[in-house]
Structure 1
Amino acid sequence: MAEVLETLFGSKEKTRILRFFLQNPEQEYAIEEVSKRNMLKRDKTKKELDVLVSIKFILLRTKKGRKSYVLNQNFIFYPELKNFISKANIYPQSKSLDRIKNLGNVKLAVISGAFINYPKSKADMILVADGISRAKLKNVMSSLEAEIGKEIDFVLMTGDEFKYRLNMLDKFILEFLEGPHEEIINKISGLKRFIANRK
């Protein structure tokens, strides 16, 4: 799906910038932040922003000599593009999800929310792991956020904490696992059976 979008919109850079602004319609961003959040080079970001400003998809604002960019919600195709991008924003195109396996002792990684177009979810990801590298985790999350165009709301907990919360029938955990979600990693024996028996 990512390749389809890149073909339709011309490039990875344009696809990421379109998705980024459509996912964050109220926010104004300086070019440096657009570039950083989408993991794109500044010159390519500037080139794509100039094109999007020229068709009035993005508005350029100048305040006290500082330029910022914001989505034009009155753009003629805004509703259609928002709908199109949200349908395309599904987890198979998030290549960085595979990198979660390399973070360390990951026992469970489940996704919902932004990854599967389920806005009712209270989080986008639950990650259960022991002794993982915080630096690697930050790097993976930054890559995922660049791919899906928004900040990822994730919950990280140790194996013992997850086990305790599950045994206490923690509402957040149960709602997440009983709602629409996808498993990336599941090394917790009996978890599927436990959830299935509650339904």
Structure 2
Amino acid sequence: MADTLDKILGSPYRVKIMKLFLMNPGEVFTPEYISKSSKLLSRNTRKEINFLKNLGFIKSGIREIDILISKTKKIKKKREPGFQLNQLFTYNRGLRSLLIESAPISRELLMKRFRELGRGLRFVALSGIFVGQEIVGDSRGLDIMFVGDNIGRLKLEKVVGKIESELGKELKYVLFDTNEFKYRHSMYDRFVLDVLDNEHDVLFDSLQAGV
């Protein structure tokens, strides 16, 4: 198995694409979507797709999308060829454990990404995919809670987008400014407490709020 894993994991581009399929086992992705979500050049994407398909990790598939016909206002189904995880591939369980379950992404890399948000960042709590446990309640499905001031939405979307490309999955996150977060915390707001009272990982805290 070790020789096979060495062969499979021979490229950082490959790892990004593999994470995308492992995190979304029932989805069919077009090469264009794979390239965009993994932030890879088209030529690198095609090369890795061919490798993984020949290896048996992925297989061809068809996805249906809805298209609105402007003149008639009717919805038309369009079939697009793409690729999906071969769920019978021998090493899926080991790869998922190695690439996702053991450490979806390192704390060091997350901190590097979050520093791009500037000095206004005051608090970051990781939940959901980062701790292997989905939150229930008002904040169901939340993966990251940010607290900070003067953090632009576009900059935040760019930073989170980089992390999504490394994880291979879209993230659900929320940003509070400091005053709103303190108010919600003091009022035992259910959305905030659903995160802090359940399994979570405080990555950064200058508010002493995540205990």
Pairwise TM-score range, normalised by the shorter structure = 0.7 to 0.9
2:9 aligned residue: 9
Q: Does 1:154 align with 2:168?
A: no
Q: Which moved more, 1:80-89 or 1:7-16?
A: 80-89
Q: Is there any run of 5+ residues in structure 1 with no aligned partner, and where?
A: none
Structure 2 vs 1, CA of residues 83 and 26 (structure 1 numbering), >3 Å: closer, same or farther?
same
Question: Aligned residue pairs: how many?
Answer: 188
User: 2: CA distance between counterparts of 1:65 and 1:118?
Assistant: 35
2:88 aligned residue: 74
User: 1: CA distance between counterparts of 2:93 and 2:80?
Assistant: 29
Q: Does 1:191 align with 2:209?
A: yes
CA contact (8 A) 2:29 2:84 kept: yes
1:6-39 deviation digits (Å, cap 9, x = unpaired): 8861010111111110001111111111011111
Q: Which moved more, 1:166-175 or 1:94-103?
A: 94-103
1:50-80 deviation digits (Å, cap 9, x = unpaired): 1111122111236778431111112222233
1:144 aligned residue: 163
TM-score normalised over the length of structure 1: 0.82
Shift of 1:142: 0.8
Q: Could you say what the CA RMSD is over the residues aligned between the two structures, in angstroms?
A: 2.5
1:31-46 to 2 correspondence within 5 Å? 31-46=31-46
Q: Which has the higher helix share?
A: 1
1:95 aligned residue: 109
TM-score normalised over the length of structure 2: 0.78
2:53 aligned residue: 53
Q: Does 1:117 align with 2:135?
A: no
Shift of 1:151: 0.7
> Taking every aligned residue pair, what percent have the same amino acid on both sides?
30
CA contact (8 A) 1:94 1:147 kept: no
